[in-house]
A = this chain, B = another copy of it.
Amino acid sequence: MRVELVTVGDELLLGDTINGNAAWLGRALAAAGAVVTRSVVVGDELDVIVEAVTAALHRADAAIVTGGLGPTYDDLTRDALAVAAGTELVRDPAIVERLRRRSAEIGRPLHDMALRMADIPATGTPIDNPMGSAPGLRVELSGKFGKKVVYALPGVPHEMRAIMTSGVLPELVARMSGPPPRRRTLRTACARESDLAVRLAPVEALPGVKLAYLPDPAEVKIRINAVGPDAAVQLAEAEELVRDLLGGYVYGAGEETLDRVVHRLLVERGETVAVAESLTGGSLGAELSEMPGSSASYVGGVVAYATPLKASLLGVPEDLLARSGPVHPEVAVAMAVGVRDRLGASYGLGVTGVAGPEPQDGHPVGTVHVAVAGPGTEPVVVTPGLPLPAASAGVRPLVRRMTVVHALDLLRRSILGLGARYEWEQAREDREGLG
């Protein structure tokens, strides 16, 4: 099933809002076996919305419109769908009643303008919105393209997702036929895209299999696509081969992010982690506490952003700081040990470095030391060579993000006993040593 997305809103064209809805819908539809073939953003103009929806239905099997369903007069999606369907808007008494009840519950008056949310095209049906006021809409349109369906959803992300999940996806899935294409995404950390690609050449040679590389700072997702009648078998074979070739670089699959993997590994072992941060300012802890239930694995942390706090809060020896400055591998180790012991966790992570955009104490931007202190083993520190752009603008968030990924991955490797040195880096250094 081919689906086109139409996102409505001047704020998206002006860049005040990022189109996260389109990405979420793309993932949700792909997971259900449908494919988004085009995604268009248009402004709050009636004619343009009508044209975009109609054009989408000419090309695709169904269209999903998000945005423009709110109460204000620049919300025009209802009107556009009525025009496209060649019908009128009618006020739905059941929706009016629900809006009245909702207003009463939160103790606010129901403005006349809000009743616009109860207007729907005469040939449409509302879709219940469990998270907010404006219902979704389902409208069947007829034209040269035959008879096709368009779904309209509010632009507020959590409302859109709720309506999509409960009211739209089940209906779309019921209308699909044939075997869906098979896809699987494996997640890697701390390896470069080009190194992965060279190593995965044998997978590219498998029949019916295609690889796509999706790089993020210090992470690369590898999407394996298999098509054809044997797609499921080919996908499984390809996945096994990728995992064989990449070894410990693969940390998870699908939606399993690095913080979730680390959380799962710790909880399985009844262990915990505490973090001592510097250049990341709190981002590492924020990441470790993102998921529900994270208090089972994450006890807390210390952000020693100012250098003297590394001594007073974490017990980093003052003479080490005086001698080496705050950006030094031994400082990262002392931070990891200090936070582990002072916060009573199984593992301590310590990070120090230069986020930029300016160098610090003679260390270039991107100099980063990441240490882990585990239960009953010697602390380990790594100094990754972060691949950074030559120009300095925008480098700071990159360095901070890469540092968080390297710290989480070092913790993962440490828990799994994989060793802190990455085997390819090791192999390259051996080669260079021999050459």
Contact = CB atoms under 8 A, between A and B. Distances in A.
Contacts of A352: none
A13 B42 contact: no
Contact of A212 (B35, B74, B395): B74
B27 A23 contact: no
B37 A39 contact: no
A282 interface: yes
A65 interface: no
A304 B41 CA distance: 43
Contact of A38 (B13, B223, B286): B13
Interface in A1-59: 10-20, 22-28, 30, 35-43, 48
Interface string A302-313: 111110010001
Number of chain copies forming the complex: 2
A15 B11 contact: no
A320 B49 CA distance: 58
Contact of A305 (B17, B132, B300, B391): B300
A285 to B, nearest CB: 3
A162 interface: yes
A196 to B, nearest CB: 12
A294 B396 CA distance: 12
A303 B301 contact: yes
A24 B15 contact: yes
Chain A binding surface SS class: mixed
Sorted nearest first, the 6 A-B pairs with minimum C-beta distance are A281-B289, A282-B285, A15-B26, A282-B282, A15-B27, A300-B305
A393 interface: yes
B27 A12 contact: no
A433 interface: no
Contacts of A356: 292
A212 B301 CA distance: 41
A277 interface: yes
Contacts of A13: 26, 35-39
A249 interface: no
A252 interface: no
Nearest to A194: B108
